[in-house]
Structure 1
Amino acid sequence: MDETAKEQFKWKFYRLAVQLNAIILLVALAILFFFLAPEPYRLPALIVLLALALVLSWDFVKSYRLTKAWLDEH
């Protein structure tokens, strides 16, 4: 693996790590909101947070597969 490929992989890995951390944070916030949020805001906040986590998870899996295929080539 040459130097430019290493640099590209570093940024691809960084992006995946940030996305995974965001997914974990969104799920944790959804759990907290489920128990601590006032009743009128509980369900909408839970739905929004879990929907964001789901969309981000879908993008994470797609990016992970592309990065893995890219890494197999290099």
Structure 2
Amino acid sequence: MIKLILDRPRCEGHGLCEEVAAQLLHIDDEGYAAIDVNEISEAVLATAQAAARVCPVAALKLVDDEAT
């Protein structure tokens, strides 16, 4: 299973991830990313990849927890 992981201390609240993947995460009341959908299905994989790619501080990453 692929999961979307947030490194909260690294997040600077740019909000670019929310712009490309609002169905997966949002910006919380403190101005930082908060993940709404941890387990990424094939249907939203490209969106999750785009969110991770657009983050200027690499606070988001995709992890295949079955690969461990």
Q: TM-score, normalising length from structure 1?
A: 0.28
Structure with bigger helix share is: 1
Structure with bigger strand share is: 2
Q: TM-score, normalising length from structure 2?
A: 0.29
